[in-house]
Amino acid sequence: MSGNSLESVPLYHQSGTRREICHWIAHIKLSRIIIVILLILFIVSLFNHYYLSKVESENQTLDIHRTRSKLEAFDDFTSMKASELKSRIEEMLRIKGSVSNELRDLEAKRQRLQNEVSGFSQRIDDLKQDLLHQQTDLDRLKISVVQAQAAQREAVERNTPELALPKRILINSLPITMLPTMDSRNCRMYNCFDHSRCALTSGFPIYLYDPDLFSIVNSGWDIDGFLRTTIKQTLGYNAHLTNNPAEACIYLVLVGEILSTQAITKKLNYEKMLNVKKLLSLPYWGGDGRNHVLLNLARRDLSVNSENLFNDIDTGRAIIVQSTFKRNQYRDGFDLIVPPILGPPGGDIWQECAQMVPARRRYLLSFQGEMKFNKLSMTTRQIDDAEIDLERLADDENNLDNFIIQHLRDMTSGVTFDKFFIQFECIPATEEQNSGGMALDWSLCGTDSSRKEILRDSTFALILAPINSSYITTSSMQARLYEALRSGAIPVVLGGDQVLLSYSEVIAWRRAAIFLPKARVTELHFLLRAVPDSDLLFMRRQGRLIWERFMGTAQGAVDTIVASIRDRLGIPPLPATQHSSPSVFNESFVPLKSDAIISEAEAEESLGPLEPPYPSPAFKRNYTMMLIHGHEIWNDWVNPFSLYPQLPFDTVLSSDAKFIGSDVGFRPIGKGAGGAGKEFSESLGGNHPREQFTIVILTYEREQVLINSLARLYGLPYLNKVLVIWNSPKLPMEDLRWPDIGVPIVIIKAPRNSLNNRFLPFDAIETEAVLSVDDDAHLRHDEIMFGFRVWREHRDQVVGFPGRFHAWDQNFHNAWNYNSNYSCELSMVLTGAAFIHKHYMYLYSNWLPQAIRDKVDEYMNCEDIAMNFLISHLTRKPPVKVTSRWTFRCPGCPVSLSEDDTHFQERHKCINFFVQVFGYMPLLNTQYRADSILFKTRISHDKQKCFKFI
Catalytic residues: 864
Could you read off the pLDDT of 356-370 as tens digits, one per residue? 999 999 999 999 988
Please report the pLDDT score of residue 288 as a whole number. Answer: 93
Nearest 5°: the CA angle 829, 835, 841 is: 95
Could you read off the pLDDT of 12-27 as tens digits, one per residue? 444 455 555 556 566 6
Average pLDDT over residues 134-149: 76
Q: Which of the four pLDDT bands, split at 50, 70 and 90, describes residue 373?
A: low
| Beta-carbon contacts of residue 720 (< 8 Å; ≥ 6 apart) | 613, 614, 615, 692, 693, 694, 743, 766, 767
- Judge residue 350's burial from the number of C-beta atoms within 10 Å of its C-beta, 0-12 exposed, 13-18 middle, 19 or more buried: middle
Name the average pLDDT for the chain.
84
Classify strands 592-594 and 737-739 as parallel, antiparallel or unpaired. Answer: parallel
Cα 829 to Cα 879: distance, rounded to the nearest angstrom: 6
Nearest to 469 by CA among 372, 414, 557, 400: 400
Please report the pLDDT score of residue 890 as a whole number. Answer: 53
Could you read off the pLDDT of 212-249 as tens digits, one per residue? 888 887 665 667 788 889 999 999 999 999 999 999 99
Average pLDDT over residues 48-75: 50
More confident residue, 591 or 513: 513
Average pLDDT over residues 310-336: 92
Q: Are 664 and 155 in contact (CB under 8 A)?
A: no
Could you read off the pLDDT of 668-701 as tens digits, one per residue? 999 899 988 888 988 999 999 999 999 999 999 8
Q: Of 50-59, 65-74, 233-242, give the lowest mean pLDDT range.
A: 65-74
Length of the chain counted residue by residue: 950
Could you read off the pLDDT of 272-303 as tens digits, one per residue? 567 788 889 999 999 999 999 999 988 865 54
Integer distance in angstroms from the first to the last C-alpha of the chain?
Answer: 117
More confident residue, 329 or 275: 329
- Judge residue 641's burial from the number of C-beta atoms within 10 Å of its C-beta, 0-12 exposed, 13-18 middle, 19 or more buried: buried
Amino acid code (one letter) for 222 = D
Could you read off the pLDDT of 150-159 as tens digits, one per residue? 777 777 776 6
Torsion of CA 540, 546, 549, 553, to 10 degrees: -90
Cα 527 to Cα 490: distance, rounded to the nearest angstrom: 13
Please report the pLDDT score of residue 38 as a whole number. Answer: 72
Cα 742 to Cα 718: distance, rounded to the nearest angstrom: 11
Q: Which of the four pLDDT bands, split at 50, 70 and 90, describes residue 139?
A: confident
Amino acid code (one letter) for 407 = H
- Cα distances (angstroms) measured from residue 236 to each of 532, 587, 610: 44, 35, 48
Please report the pLDDT score of residue 893 as a whole number. Answer: 53
Nearest to 431 by CA among 299, 296, 264: 264
Average pLDDT over residues 167-191: 87
User: In whole angstroms, what separates CA 798 from the centre of its chain?
Assistant: 5
Please report the pLDDT score of residue 380 as a whole number. Answer: 53
Whether cis (ω within 30° of 0) applies to the bond prior to 358 is yes
Best-predicted range by mean pLDDT (50-64, 208-222, 263-277, 832-846): 832-846
Cα 888 to Cα 776: distance, rounded to the nearest angstrom: 8
Q: Are 885 and 832 in contact (CB under 8 A)?
A: no
Q: Are 768 and 788 in contact (CB under 8 A)?
A: no
Could you read off the pLDDT of 600-640 as tens digits, one per residue? 545 567 788 888 889 999 998 888 998 999 999 999 988 99
Please report the pLDDT score of residue 371 as a whole number. Answer: 74
Whether cis (ω within 30° of 0) applies to the bond prior to 339 is no
pLDDT at position 558 over 70: yes
Q: Of 241-245, 430-434, 775-779, give the lowest mean pLDDT range.
A: 430-434
Average pLDDT over residues 900-928: 93
pLDDT at position 481 over 60: yes
More confident residue, 48 or 497: 497
Q: Of 107-121, 683-697, 757-771, give the lowest mean pLDDT range.
A: 107-121
pLDDT at position 811 over 60: yes
Please report the pLDDT score of residue 506 as a whole number. Answer: 96
Please report the pLDDT score of residue 428 as a whole number. Answer: 61
